[in-house]
Structure 1
Amino acid sequence: MQIDIYSPDSYLQGIPHQQFAWLRANDPVHWHQHPAGGGYWAISKHADILAVSRDHKSFSAQQGFVMVDDLPAEILPMAQGQLLGMDPPQHGPIRRAVITRFTSKMLANLEPQIRSITQSIMANARDIGEVNFVESLAGDLPTAVIGSMLEIPTDMWPQIRAWSDMQTSGDDPDLGGSPEQINQASVEMGTYGYQLATERKDQGGDDLISLLINTEVDGHQVDEMEFASLFIQITVAGNETTRGLISSGMHQLMQQPELYQQLQDNPSMIPGAVEEMLRWTCPLHYFRRTATCDTEIRGQKIAKGDKVVMLYSSGNFDEEVFTDPMRFDIERNPNPHLSFGHGIHLCLGANLARMEARIFLEEFFKTFSGIEMAGDTAYIRSNSIHGFKQMPVRLLPR
Structure 2
Amino acid sequence: MRDYRQLPLEVDPPRHHLYRSALGPYFVRPTVEKSIPEFRRHTEALFNQYFSGASKDAISTLVLPLVMENLGVLYRRPQDVQEWISWGPDVWTAESPARDGKVLHTYLDRIYAEAMEGNHSDIWSELAILEIEGTVISADEFRGIAGVMLAGGRDTVVKLFTGMLWHFALHSEDLQLLRSNSALIPNAIQEFLRFLTPLPEMARTTTPETGARELPVDRYVGISFISGNFDEFVFVDPLRIDIGREKNPHLSFGFGPHTCLGNHIAEMEAKVFLETLVNSGLQWEIVDSKIRFHQSPYVGVPDGFESITLQKL
Give me the TM-score of the superposition, normalised by structure 1. 0.69
CA distance in 1 between counterparts of 2:262 and 2:269 reads 10
Whether contact under 8 Å (2:169, 2:283) holds in the other structure is no
Which residue identity does 2:289 align to in structure 1?
A: D
**Residues in 2 aligned to 1:341 and 1:323: alpha-carbon distance in whole angstroms:** 21
Alignment match, 1:136: 61
Rounded to whole Å, the distance in 2 between the matches of 1:389 and 1:105 is 34
Alpha-carbon deviation of 1:295?
5.7
Q: Secondary structure at the match of 1:373?
A: strand
Aligned twin of 2:152: 237
Change (3 A) 1:244 1:166: closer
**Map of 1:261 onto structure 2:** 176
The answer for the alignment partner of 2:124 in structure 1 is 209
Aligned-residue offset at 1:202: 6.8
CA distance in 2, matches of 1:88, 1:186: 28
Q: For 1:83, what is the secondary structure of its paired residue?
A: coil
Of the three residues 26, 30, 33, the one matched with 1:101 is 26
Aligned equivalents of 1:199 and 1:283: distance in 2? 32
Residue number in structure 2 paired with 1:160: 84
- Tell me what 1:82 maps to: 7
The structure-2 alpha-carbon separation of the partners of 1:221 and 1:116, relative to structure 1 and needing over 3 Å to count, comes to: farther
Distance in 2 of aligned mates of 1:254 and 1:163? 27
Contact 2:92 2:100 in 1 (8 A): no
Stretches of structure 2 that go unaligned for 5 or more consecutive residues are 295-301
Matches within 5 A, 1:365-376: 365-376=278-289
Structure 2: distance between partners of 1:204 and 1:265: 50
* Residue 43 of structure 2 is aligned to residue 118 of structure 1: yes
- Displacement, 1:348? 1.4
Alpha-carbon deviation of 1:296? 6.0
Matches within 5 A, 1:268-287: 268-287=183-202
Q: Deviations over 1:32-59 (max 9, x none)?
A: xxxxxxxxxxxxxxxxxxxxxxxxxxxx
Q: Which residue number corresponds to residue 297 of structure 2?
A: none
Read off the aligned partner of 1:219 and give its amino acid letter. Answer: G
Task: Report which stretch shifted further, 301-310 or 233-242.
Answer: 301-310
Q: CA deviation at 1:234?
A: 1.1
**Deviation readout 1:153-205 (Å, 9 max, x if unpaired):** 54x434324436454444xxxxx24xxx59x9333322322322332347375
**How much does 1:292 deviate?**
3.5
Q: Aligned letter for 2:26?
A: R
- Answer yes or no: is the 8 Å Cα contact 1:254–1:260 preserved in 2: no
Distance 1:163 1:222, change over 3 A: farther
CA distance in 2, matches of 1:84, 1:321: 27
| 2:299 corresponding residue in structure 1 | none
Query: Are 2:44 and 1:127 equivalent residues in the alignment?
Result: no
Secondary structure of the corresponding residue to residue 284 of structure 2: strand
Q: SS in structure 2 opposite 1:91?
A: helix
| 8 Å CA contact 2:46, 2:66 repeated in 1 | yes
**Residue in 1 aligned with 2:311?**
394
How far apart are residue 137 of structure 1 and its match?
Answer: 2.0
Please tell me whether the aligned partners of residues 190 and 229 of structure 1 are also in contact (alpha carbons under 8 angstroms). no
Alignment match, 2:259: 346
Structure with bigger RCO (C-alpha 8 Å, 6+ apart) = 1
Give CA-to-partner distance per residue, 1:58-103, whole Å, 9 cap, x none.
xxxxxxxxxxxxxxxxx3422x243323333443322222222111
Return the letter of the residue paired with 1:83. P
SS in 1 for 2:126: helix
Distance 1:190 1:96 in 2: 25
Preserved CA contact (<8 Å) 2:185 2:274: yes
Distance in 2, matches of 1:111 and 1:217, equals: 30
Do the aligned residues in 2 keep the contact of 1:282 with 1:313 (CA within 8 Å)?
Answer: yes
Q: Does structure 2 conserve the Cα–Cα contact (< 8 Å) formed by 1:380 and 1:389?
A: no
Q: What is the 5 A alignment of 1:167-182? A: 167-170=91-94, 176-177=95-96
Q: Distance in 2 between matches of 1:168 and 1:190?
A: 10
**Structure 1: stretches of 5+ with no match in the other structure:** 1-74, 171-175
Identity across the alignment (%):
27
Give distance in 1, aligned partners of 2:93 and 2:250: 24
CA deviation vs aligned residue, 1:331-380 (integer Å, no higher than 9, x gap)? 22221111112233221111101111110111223234211212234339
Kept in 1: contact 2:91–2:104 (CA 8 A)? no
SS at match of 1:131: coil
What is the Cα-based RMSD across aligned positions, in Å?
Answer: 2.8
Distance 1:148 1:269, change over 3 A: same
Q: Distance in 1 between matches of 2:119 and 2:15?
A: 26
Listed one character per residue, the Cα deviations across residues 207-236 of structure 1 (whole Å, up to 9, x for unaligned) are 322332334355353344322232221111
Identify if the C-alpha distance between structure 1 residues 317 and 291 changes in structure 2 by more than 3 Å, giving closer, same or farther: same
Q: Secondary structure in 2 aligned to 1:394?
A: strand
Stretch of structure 1 that moved more, 320-329 or 234-243: 320-329
